[in-house]
Amino acid sequence: MYTFIKNKHIIYKKYVLEVIIIQSLDEGKYSGIDVSNWQGSIDFSQVKNSGVQVVYMKATEGNYYTDTSLNRNYSGAKVNGLLVGFYHFFRANIDPKEQAKYFINSISGRTPDCRLALDIETTQGYGPDELTSRCIDFLEEVKRLSGLDVVVYTYTSFAKSNLTSSISQYPLWIAHYGVTTPGYNGVWDSWIGFQYSDSGSISGVNGKCDLDKFMEEILLSCTETIPGSRPSETESSNSNNGTYTVQAGDTLSGIAQKYGTTWQSLAQLNNISNPNVIYPGEVLKVSGGSSNSNSTAVGGTYTVQTGDTLSGIAQKYGTTWQNLAQLNNISDPNVIYPGEVLKISGGSSNSGSTAAGETYTVQAGDTLSGIAQKYGTTWQKLAQINNISNPNVIYPGQVLKIN
């Protein structure tokens, strides 16, 4: 028997009265998005102008992966006055405290505006009691190490089936698409974050992204820099480890002059599409292995290396980025991927990365979106036909169906 009273769902079950109070979408105060390296290079000035106020960004996963766009996303969001939050994708089969330390170390030296988020979406074989306990261990260790408040991100059906009420002591950021009010989750009676779409379109973001509404409680009561072992700006700015942390007032040409190189080389090495835009706090590579060690063109093709740009590749081979874009059917010349094989001339590629029949073998540096772009499809379709639950995780040697 179900009776509905405005925003209160009164559910009678075995003579026990449960009152589930869940706010609707229009009660959210702040508009937000959450992003990762999946979105590629983001123009946060456009994001800001589109009305977005909060940006959550992936920081880490397990105890082994730091998002490759973390530094640039953080710098870009901060310099444009957006409220920043970080999330960690939890792997239940890895020690929770190790994951907490890895998470905090990866974001140390940065100043979040929003609660630190646990993203729990997989059980990896654990039952509700043990999974909940491991999540709580992670959350408590994050609070201890950072001194900051936390929030739990999950989706409605997952919470209902895999978490217990013990975790309700922490506020909820819930994902439930296609509705204006999240459904019954069995654990929480309110949310401070509501991810209502995974296919939003925001100016400045390539492709689709998640859309959120947040309550006031998502914000930290005070903003503090997270302690940890990240080097200070002074240390990084005089580094001997091949990196440089951008300071206020820096230009790419000025940094290049300091290190006896060119701004073009730095732009290529750091995959910077607009050399006029760098952000304080951004960590730049200032040295690296020779790009021609294993990236030379063979048989009229070139395999993209980390830090490459289309214009830089064109310059190497005496052509233009426009010609390369046309030859390789590249719609956005600012987006190329490490491991991608480009035609330099009319000859066909002889790389081992080509599709055999209707399959493709993943190469180091590949992304699902990059593979999709090569074959004129979408990452969503590839994820569906290959039963990929997390599109951010594919492995070299993995064989994917293309259609």
Q: Which of 34, 141, 149, 250 is catalytic?
A: 34
What would the two tokens of residue 143 be? Answer: 């609070």
Give the containing element (helix H, strand E) for 95. none
Using a 10 angstrom Cβ sphere, with 0-12 exposed, 13-18 middle and 19 or more buried, the burial of residue 139 is buried
**Can you tell me the distance from the alpha carbon of 183 to that of 166, in angstroms, rounded to the nearest whole number?**
19
Identify the residue whose tokens are 């310059």.
Answer: 315
> Cβ(125)–Cβ(162) under 8 Å?
no
Active site residue 113: no
**Can you tell me the distance from the alpha carbon of 389 to that of 383, in angstroms, rounded to the nearest whole number?**
7
Active site residue 34: yes
HSE, CB side, 13 Å, CA atoms: give it for residue 83.
23
> Cβ(79)–Cβ(111) under 8 Å?
no
Of 86, 90, 138, nearest in space to 113 by CA:
86
Question: Residue 154: which residues within 8 A CB-CB, separation 6 or more?
Answer: 119, 120, 121, 163, 172, 173, 174, 175
What would the two tokens of residue 5 be? Answer: 């009273």
**Can you tell me the distance from the alpha carbon of 135 to that of 244, in angstroms, rounded to the nearest whole number?**
36
Identify the residue whose tokens are 């010349």.
Answer: 333
**Can you tell me the distance from the alpha carbon of 261 to that of 245, in angstroms, rounded to the nearest whole number?**
16
Helix axes 96-107, 128-146, angle to 10 degrees: 40
**Residue 379: helix, strand or coil by DSSP?**
helix
Identify the residue whose tokens are 């009265």.
Answer: 17
Q: Which of 27, 113, 121, 189 is catalytic?
A: 121
**Can you tell me the distance from the alpha carbon of 182 to that of 174, in angstroms, rounded to the nearest whole number?**
8
Pairing label, strands 16-21, 30-35? unpaired
CA distances from 302 to 10, 41, 295, 350, 351 (A): 63, 22, 6, 10, 9
Catalytic sites, residue numbers: 34, 121
